[in-house]
């Protein structure tokens, strides 16, 4: 089992951070490995919505579909994919620290299958490093716009 949780404090209101981070169209701007995201079906973020992600990870191009399993505006977004050798759940949690400051937690959990089971410890390290870069990039974007 892989369970990686990374946090960052962003000097920007929670409403603005959550709206931007949850927007699928923004993911390629702040995620290091995401090339594109497209909504499948209605464009609204709600439980049951599906999004197709195209990403590069460990030298491979991956295409996978996330389903939103929980969405609480300005508080929490949880997505899950059942596809591929590494089914994953990704959670965003936003906490209002004050009127102009947000703590965001990015958490990835998954149960590797097949060959991926053997490299899970390495994948955990790589996911942690990528998450840190992603959150650092998000902070830069948000603090420049606030």
pTM equals 0.88
Q: pLDDT value at position 114?
A: 58
Residue with tokens 């299958």: 113
Alpha-carbon distance 24 to 88, whole Å? 17
Q: So what's the pLDDT on residue 117?
A: 55
Under 8 Å between Cβ of 36 and 54? yes
- The model's pLDDT over 90-121, given as tens digits with 9 standing for 90+, comes to 999 999 999 999 999 999 998 766 555 555 56
Q: Which two tokens stand for residue 123?
A: 């994948």
User: Which pLDDT score, from 0 to 100, does residue 112 have?
Assistant: 64
Residues 115-124: contacts with CB within 8 Å, 24+ apart?
Answer: 115/85, 116/85, 116/86, 120/1, 120/2, 123/2, 123/58, 123/86, 124/2, 124/4
Q: Report pLDDT digits (tens) over 8-47.
A: 999 999 999 999 999 999 999 999 889 999 999 888 899 9
List domains and CATH numbers for the chain.
2-145 (3.30.530.20)
- Examine the pLDDT at 74 and tell me if it is beyond 80: yes
Q: Give tens-digit pLDDT for 130-144.
A: 899 999 999 999 999
Q: What is the pLDDT of residues 44-66, one digit of tens each?
A: 899 999 999 998 766 778 888 99
């Amino acid at each position: 089992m892989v369970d990686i949780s990374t946090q960052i404090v962003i000097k920007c209101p929670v409403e603005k951070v959550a709206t931007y981070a949850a927007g699928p169209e923004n993911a390629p701007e702040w995620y290091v490995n995401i090339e594109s995201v497209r909504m499948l079906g209605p464009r609204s973020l709600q439980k049951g919505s599906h999004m197709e992600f195209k990403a590069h990870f460990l030298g491979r191009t991956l295409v996978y579909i996330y389903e939103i399993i929980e969405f609480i505006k300005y508080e929490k977004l949880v997505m899950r994919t059942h596809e591929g050798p590494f089914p994953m759940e990704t959670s965003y949690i936003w906490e209002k620290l004050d009127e102009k400051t947000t703590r965001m937690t990015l958490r990835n959990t998954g149960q590797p299958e097949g060959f991926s089971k053997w490299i899970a410890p390495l994948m955990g390290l790589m996911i942690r490093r990528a998450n840190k870069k992603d959150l650092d990039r998000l902070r830069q974007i948000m603090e420049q716009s606030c």
